[in-house]
Amino acid sequence: MRFAGNVIWFVLGGFVTGLIWLVGAAVFALTIIGLPLTRAALEMAKMSAFPFGKEVVHVRELDNRGLDATTAVTGTVGFIFNVLWALTFGLALFFSYLVAGVLCCLTIIGIPFGLQAFKLAGLSLWPVGRRVVPIEVARAAREANAQERLAHYRGQAV
């Protein structure tokens, strides 16, 4: 099902939105200081072209690092770059995904594609600090984080 959904998605517009992400990545790569946006845009281009079977998670869900000086600085820089992205390519992508989602949801067959478009719409405004991973990896990371938090609440060492 994932393969068929990805093929249909790609043919019916995923390649266009993927190209928009790649153009944004190229523009910000030229500026050198925009390299964090380039990485995020490349991650989202993968998701935009083939969204079925993948999920986007925050990098802190994968590395499970708490708040320290490094994560505070990278979080602040990421916030600034996310605002910059949202004010440039983010709004255009957001509205294109929103329109695509509404159009897809007009038919019963298109509802899964519409849901993917709505997921991508939200991500298109705030991509820095996100990674595209298979659904199974996202579940495993969240489960490990939940187990660690549960052990912390119970006062146990992990």
Domains of the chain: total: 1
Question: Quick one: pLDDT at residue 101?
Answer: 92
If DSSP codes are grouped into helix, strand and coil, which group holds residue 129?
coil
Residue 28 CA to residue 51 CA, distance in Å, equals: 23
Tens of pLDDT, residue by residue over 89-145, are: 889 889 989 998 999 999 999 999 999 999 899 888 888 888 889 999 999 999 998
Task: Give residue 63's domain range.
Answer: 2-154
Tens of pLDDT, residue by residue over 33-64, are: 888 788 888 888 888 889 999 988 888 888 87
CA neighbor of 50 nearest in space, from 94, 18, 90: 18
Whole-model pTM: value is: 0.78
Distances, alpha carbon 42 to alpha carbons 123, 125, 127, 149, in Å: 13, 14, 10, 32
Residue 49 CA to residue 79 CA, distance in Å, equals: 25
SS3 content of the chain, % helix, strand, coil (to 5): 75, 5, 20
Q: Name 105's Cβ contacts closer than 8 Å, sequence gap at least 6.
A: 111, 114, 115
Residue 57: how many other CB atoms lie within 10 Å: 17
Residue 32 CA to residue 43 CA, distance in Å, equals: 18
